[in-house]
Structure 1
């Protein structure tokens, strides 16, 4: 859903849709069919094109980036269901779980027992359609090239998924890596991969005429955690293409002064590329109002987690945005 901010900027309101259990394009088409039906049923009062934030498993992303016809088919399926994609998730929650750092060792033991190889390739039972019987092993952090390759694959997929009139989109990723593992060698390798990510996104924009930006998500236990740690870790990145993705639930719960923390990021030149609302019970409203003040819109993409009562969440968030003066794209803005 596209909304026009009083500043004139378009803000995309999207519902999260996960294809994280799909390993192949064929699986993805089947999963999307069911997900679209469930989404429409949950949002029975909403008609027209719906914006969704897709979460793709890394095996599916690898398959799609190598198969142009599959990307064309996926785009056609989105159109058929009245869905549009402007963001993709490359964070842990798109990789089969997203366990917090303190659970990492237990999670690794569980996946090993389940028969998942360290390479991240799931063991699929004979006769299966391709859906794994156990969670997909998460990708390594930003010190490893696999994370860079997956993120660039998502960017390549996204430019083919964007609506015809859109010239840019966004992807999200993890907060670099676990802080307890982030030694000097990891930091050096991570910095190199971030430079390559920036270069890859610039090259993609030059080739296809569509820009993709990437937001890194601060999370407890990661290199990107507090506002100060996030600014320090990202101080030298290409800020035209790289920024942050904020889970407003985590910000409200974990940051001592959430509004000041957001200002700390933006004052340092970091863009809040995407924000997520994952728990409607947490007081995310002041944070959203702070990001979307009348004079400026400091974010462009708002994702609602639809694991819960999606219809109520979307309606309420839309009411909050309307109170700030945002209106459907083709309606004139009025001051809030």
Structure 2
């Protein structure tokens, strides 16, 4: 849903939905129906915003098939659902060894239940040349992210001129040697160029946010700033899991300031643990004088009903900060 910040900026609040198990349009529709039913129980009628996680095979198929994208857009419209963000990132809680952590477990349908950072293997995960999960040194990661951007520009609501995709935090730190770093830099340049070309061709911009995590190249604020110091900051930024930052950063608000002072945008703020004390971080990002993030995605564990309840809770927290539905007059708290 679209919320107007006291500064006048629109902030999009979305519910995360994973399509990891969807292999064809029929299964996508079934997944949307299940999530929509739970959401309507809490929010009734009216437009609602969802953030979709697309596995590699489904994203590649949609990127190649314009008619399939048109049908998916029609299916979303028919259910009163809007999409302004897509995800191709791994779920929270994956450590340096790639093992699933507390945030994983895709059976509940959340984005945080991702099976890996992308798609393409026999199980739908994105794989590199050696069969392991692809990081940003692999062309597969670049291809998947550009596929997501191509899909998103066709799914955006008619009045929206930009959206965002969330992607993997570059790679595992213990594997990020000089060769991978050079390859990753080339792919980030190509990503920026691809996003610029897409914006020129269709008149809609997509930004990509890299999701930090423990054991990744992007982990602490200092590591994030160092790794992304030379990227195109107009199109590339950070997709920040507030719960992960709360757990791993010694000073969360100072960490956010460290990134934004370096010119990096927190494009998307993820809420993956409803019980964590993420409220001060969100308040810091959405202070009364400015909004330093444009997208808030609720991607919590549990089934659709629980996620819908968590979304309602986050909406109440945002309302307490002075954000209101777009059509209502906005006053500072």
Instruction: Please confirm whether the aligned pair reaches a TM-score higher than 0.5, indicating the same fold.
Output: yes
Distance 1:171 1:205 in 2: 14
**8 Å Cα contact 2:283/2:321 also seen in 1:** yes
Stretches of structure 2 that go unaligned for 5 or more consecutive residues are 101-118, 128-132
1:141 paired residue among 135, 140, 144: 135
Distance 2:226 2:38 in 1: 42
> Which residues in structure 2 correspond to 1:104-253 (within 5 Å)?
104=99, 120-122=120-122, 136=125, 139-253=133-247
> Which residues in structure 2 correspond to 1:1-336 (within 5 Å)?
1-41=1-41, 43=42, 45-93=43-91, 99-104=94-99, 120-122=120-122, 136=125, 139-308=133-302, 309-336=306-333
Distance 1:306 1:69 in 2: 32
Higher alpha-carbon Rg: 1
Distance 2:220 2:90 in 1: 19
CA shift for structure 1 position 307: 3.4
TM-score normalised to the size of structure 2?
A: 0.88
Distance 1:290 1:147 in 2: 32
Distance 1:54 1:208, change over 3 A: same
Distance 2:125 2:89 in 1: 13
Distance 1:137 1:144 in 2: 10
CA shift for structure 1 position 24: 2.8
What root-mean-square deviation, in Å, do the aligned CA atoms of Structure 1 and Structure 2 show? 1.8
Stretches of structure 1 that go unaligned for 5 or more consecutive residues are 106-118, 123-133
Deviations 1:231-266 (A, max 9, x none): 000000000000000000001111000010000000
SS of the counterpart of 1:171?
strand
Distance 1:256 1:155, change over 3 A: same
**8 Å Cα contact 1:25/1:64 also seen in 2:** no
Distance 2:27 2:217 in 1: 34
Task: Decide which moves more: 280-289 or 138-147.
Answer: 138-147
TM-score normalised to the size of structure 1?
A: 0.87
Distance 1:211 1:7 in 2: 22
**8 Å Cα contact 1:24/1:59 also seen in 2:** no
CA shift for structure 1 position 27: 2.9
Distance 1:326 1:291, change over 3 A: same
Distance 1:300 1:15, change over 3 A: same
Distance 1:311 1:102 in 2: 32
Runs (4+) off by over 4 Å: none
Distance 1:332 1:87 in 2: 25
**8 Å Cα contact 1:24/1:63 also seen in 2:** no
SS of the counterpart of 1:142?
coil
Aligned residues: 307
Deviations 1:12-65 (A, max 9, x none): 000001111112334323322333224334x2x443111000001110000001
CA shift for structure 1 position 267: 0.3
Task: Decide which moves more: 202-211 or 27-36.
Answer: 27-36
Deviations 1:287-310 (A, max 9, x none): 000000011000000001253322
Distance 1:79 1:98, change over 3 A: farther
Distance 1:312 1:221 in 2: 31
